[in-house]
Amino acid sequence: MSEPVPPPCFQNCVPPGDERERLVCGDCGWIHYVNPKVIVGAVVTSGGKFLLCRRAIEPRAGFWTMPAGFMEEGESAEHGAAREVWEEATARVRLDALLAVYSIPVISQVQLIYRGELTLPGFAPGLESLETRLFGWDEIPWNELAFPSVTWALQHFHAVRDQTAFAPFTAPVLFESRPGR
């Protein structure tokens, strides 16, 4: 996907009081800031099994993921994570803790992943999922997970599965900085 072409009145320059080049309107001085996207999601369990969704959409269609997606304007991170569980797995969830904050500069994302438990037994694929399923730890299709952060979140959940208090995890060191930044 290519970047949209800015209107002709915009130019790349360093605005006053800033240190980075930005798109600035030459007519009115409005600055177009490009910021990271916030992803919200949850590692959801029921009876000791993990709810995963097989993606129906790109990127990584056909691969398994935890329910997660872009946070919407005007919602809290917790509400967004619960909404994503509903949208992708038509399931209701109770979130109990922030499991991880993954800062991934190479794709300009900050991911907030919660730990959650199904509140009702039913679930089914939502519009963005081909299939939803509960997996035991030894049944998780590790080689078919859509993104590294799904693997991290499942492993981090497993590390604190019996704990009620813990510090949120972060991404592995190899994802902490973007070359040239």
pLDDT in tens, 126-139: 999 999 999 999 99
- Domain with residue 46: its CATH number is 3.90.79.10
The answer to the question of residue 22 being in a domain is no
Total structural domains within the chain: 1
The answer to the question of residue 43 being in a domain is yes
pLDDT digits (tens, 9 = 90+) for 17-70: 999 999 999 999 999 999 999 999 999 999 999 999 999 999 999 999 999 999
The answer to the question of residue 148 being in a domain is yes
128 contacts 58 by C-beta, under 8 angstroms:
no
The answer to the question of residue 8 being in a domain is no
The answer to the question of residue 12 being in a domain is no
The answer to the question of residue 66 being in a domain is yes
Question: What's the rounded mean pLDDT across residues 5-11?
Answer: 81
100 contacts 156 by C-beta, under 8 angstroms:
yes
pLDDT number for residue 3: 65
Q: Name the residue among 52, 63, 170, 35 with its Cα closest to residue 111.
A: 170
Query: What's the domain range around 132?
Result: 37-173
